[in-house]
Amino acid sequence: MLRDPDGNPVDGGKWFTHHGTDVETNWAATDLLSYRTPTERFFVRNHTTAPEIDVASWRLEVWGDGVDGGPMAYSLDELKALGETTYDRALECTGNGRRLYDEQQGEFRPGTQWGLGAIGLASWTGVPLRTVLEDAGLRDDAVQVMPVGLDPSYVCEGTDYGHVRRPLPIEKALDDVLVAWEMNGAPLEPDHGFPVRLVVPGWVGIASIKWLGSLEVATTRSESPWSTKWYRMHGPGYDDPDGTGDPQAAVLDRMPVKSLMDLPPGSEVVAGRLTVLRGRAWAGDATIAAVEVSTDDGQTWEEATLTGPNERSCWVEWEHPWTPAAAGDQVIRTRATDSSGRTQPDRVPTNDDGYLFWAVVQHPVTVTSSSSVPVA
């Protein structure tokens, strides 16, 4: 991604909606609507700034009481010698859709006002985290891995919280997590974690630590500010000052099921003319079982046709033909159900930080009469 001397993205305002130094994919930029998101148009969420790392001297340290034989330090070439895996997976910011708590539910939540563009799907190449841990001498009683990034320490309100880091349960670490060095067939760019990052499919984006510097493997569980102060549900029903909250429900790991239309809100379609509505749906670590479309603001629903790949931790594209009968303002809704049985609700419970908005999204469109369409 191109940036000016102050670190702000430079794209002419077409590809991204800007949130300071962070950016979200602009769904109105219709030339990017492919299955994989081009690297230069992939959303960016950084807590500080991308560090400058000399790959020749960079090493990934693997250490802790959960591995035998003392610390291991891997160069990039040594990681590549362990083997190589490539897969398509989506990454999504935990706060994707935060703006919709306000727009659809009247519950403004502070933080970056993401629409639904803080998600992207790319091809990732690297070595499975399982392979690295086993090579380092993983113990049977290891319960957790703490990946730590090499970005500058995060300072908030005068407190230095150190490098971005977040515990990963060993069960997930040994499943489908990748230590990645390529994105869409090319070395990682600085904004996306050069030289090496984690890819944790289906989970909250903060789990996919960028600029990976170390992995602490432990036989006891520990936390970090990125699993307690942030990136954990807070608010009624989650916090537990009087014993009424649910601590387990507060844990953020896999992402929920969501769907959207590629047609930007406010677009015009023509009465009496066939329009093929298209979009995509995704569901954390599941696949999509069905997508339904309502062209009358939720009164009736019809099932859309899923097209293309439908893999877990990816999105699937869908399409649905619609010939609007009359001119006027209309609201289209899409509703996805995933392979684990989760279906998007009309409304979702709120939380203090505006995480995990996954309600049915309202897409306003304007239906014009055919007589109002200019003739070429």
Tokens of 52: 């400058």
Tokens of 215: 């992995």
pLDDT at site 375: 41
Q: How far apart are CA 375 and CA 48, in angstroms?
A: 52
Strand partners, 223: none
Cβ atoms of 105 and 350 within 8 Å: the answer is yes
Q: How confident is the model at residue 30 (pLDDT cuts 50, 70, 90)?
A: low
291 pLDDT higher than 50:
yes
Topology annotation, domain 257-372: Immunoglobulin-like (2.60.40)
What are 129-149's pLDDT values in tens digits? 999 999 999 999 999 999 999
Q: How confident is the model at residue 265 (pLDDT cuts 50, 70, 90)?
A: confident
Q: How confident is the model at residue 312 (pLDDT cuts 50, 70, 90)?
A: very high
Q: What is the mean pLDDT of residues 194-220?
A: 98
What are 66-109's pLDDT values in tens digits? 999 789 999 999 999 999 999 999 999 999 999 999 999 999 99
Lowest mean pLDDT among 144-158, 218-232, 241-255, 280-294: 241-255
28 pLDDT higher than 80:
no
Provide the whole-model pTM: 0.92
Q: How confident is the model at residue 4 (pLDDT cuts 50, 70, 90)?
A: low
What are 320-369's pLDDT values in tens digits? 999 999 999 999 999 999 999 999 999 999 999 999 999 999 999 999 99
CATH number belonging to the domain at 47-231, selected among 3.40.980.10, 3.90.420.10, 3.40.50.10900, 3.20.20.105: 3.90.420.10
Tokens of 299: 């009164």
Name the pairing type of β-strands 328-338 and 315-322.
unpaired
φ/ψ (deg, to 5) at 316:
-120, 140
pLDDT at site 27: 78
Domain ranges of the chain: 47-231, 257-372
